[in-house]
Amino acid sequence: MNETYDLADPMSWRKMHKPKPDQEISAASYKELLLRVLDEHRGWISNDDFLAIVQKIFGPIFSRADKRIIRGRPKWMNTVDWSKAVLSSTGIIHTRSHQRDGKRVTYIVLRSHAELIGWVTNKKQSARFKKVCSKCKSKRPLSETFCGEGAKGGCNYVFPQKKERVDKLPR
Ligand SMILES: [Zn+2]
């Protein structure tokens, strides 16, 4: 039985039917949700935050099969991992982990936003991301709207506006 819900409307989440005890919420359900969430989160989210969203939407309707514990974790988490593996292997997302405050944090990033990975996983590195001014050829901070705005030595060339990004997402 296929159902739809409105991500922006928690009432519609609650209207979804609970699967039968031996049915599981499909990997495709998590895949679709992840792509929508990434799109709305400007291309990246931490794995923990995504799991929290899954739990908010599907937690109340998890079946017995979804909740059964396999190797110390509920089955639905395995299915979420599987949906991420599928999206990784088809090149749609990347996952990256790093240590933050002694804790391992995993981020999920849309490949079309892959330049965010360095920024997401290492704040200090963001300052090192540069673009080259097409007029004076000097390396400029990414955030500059004109050459010389954020760092000295610029030629005042106004950078062209960034192209809108189009994510090709499965339905
Ligand atoms: Zn310049």
Burial category of 30 from C-beta neighbours within 10 Å (exposed 0-12, middle 13-18, buried 19 and up): buried
pLDDT digits (tens, 9 = 90+) for 6-37: 888 889 888 888 888 888 898 889 999 999 99
What tens digit of pLDDT does each residue of 44-98 get? 999 999 999 999 999 999 999 999 998 899 999 999 999 999 999 888 998 988 8
Q: Kindly list the protein residues that place their beta carbon closer than 5 angstroms to ligand 1, a single-atom ion.
A: 133, 135-136, 147, 155, 157
Tell me the fold of 10-124.
Arc Repressor Mutant, subunit A (1.10.10)
Task: For 19-164, list the strands marked E by DSSP.
Answer: 44-46, 69-70, 73-74, 93-100, 103-110, 130-132, 139-141
Confidence category of residue 166, pLDDT binned at 50, 70, 90: very low
Dihedral of CA 18/19/24/26: which sign?
negative
pLDDT for residue 121 is more than 70: no
pLDDT of residue 19: 87
pLDDT for residue 42? 86
Sequence spans of domains, the chain = 10-124, 129-160
Question: How many whole angstroms from 116 Cα to the centroid of ligand 1?
Answer: 24
